[in-house]
Amino acid sequence: MTEAPVEDFSGKRTAEIVGITYRQLDYWARTDLIRPSVAEARGSGSRRRYSYRDLLELKVIKNLLDAGLKLESVRKIFTYLRDNLGEDIATANLVINGQDSVLVHTGEELIDLVHNGQGVLNILPLGNVKEELDNAIVELRPAPVAGLGEQAVVGG
């Protein structure tokens, strides 16, 4: 398993990498869906700074919304994922049935996070979120300038 990058990202860069609008990111921070863990905005001129883990969580949220879940359901699901899976949030698989969602936990246990429903189930694997996020960071990172050698690039 590769080690996560040790850098932080501006709000603008975070939105680009995750594939959401800055307005969504701002709303999610103001409504406590996900707050930046490196630095929160504190008045005029201050900037939010997001960690790699924040980006991973934001990407999971985006995938849930893209799968057709309502934001209220995503809040419930994400709270459960955060409280019960911690660092392993992107390793979960969710079984989604329309507006209903069931967490596939450790292979044996299924937990209904919203409410029961019937219908065709779609599996939404979250295991590839980390790879997608890493690729987006690499794509947006500027190439090193010839003659300057390898320098660490901080997001943003």
pLDDT of the chain along its 156 residues, tens only?
Answer: 555 546 889 999 999 999 999 999 999 998 988 888 876 766 665 688 899 989 988 998 898 888 888 888 888 877 877 777 766 677 777 777 666 555 555 454 555 665 443 334 456 777 788 888 988 888 887 666 665 555 555 555
The CA–CA distances, whole Å, from 106 to 18, 97, 121 equal 26, 19, 18
Instruction: Identify the pLDDT of residue 28.
Output: 93
Residue with tokens 């065709």: 120
Q: Which CATH number fits domain 8-140: 1.10.1660.10, 3.40.220.10, 1.10.10.410, 1.10.443.10?
A: 1.10.1660.10
The CA–CA distances, whole Å, from 43 to 40, 47, 51 equal 9, 9, 20
CA–CA dist 92, 85 (Å, integer): 8
A 10 A CB-CB count for 81 gives 24
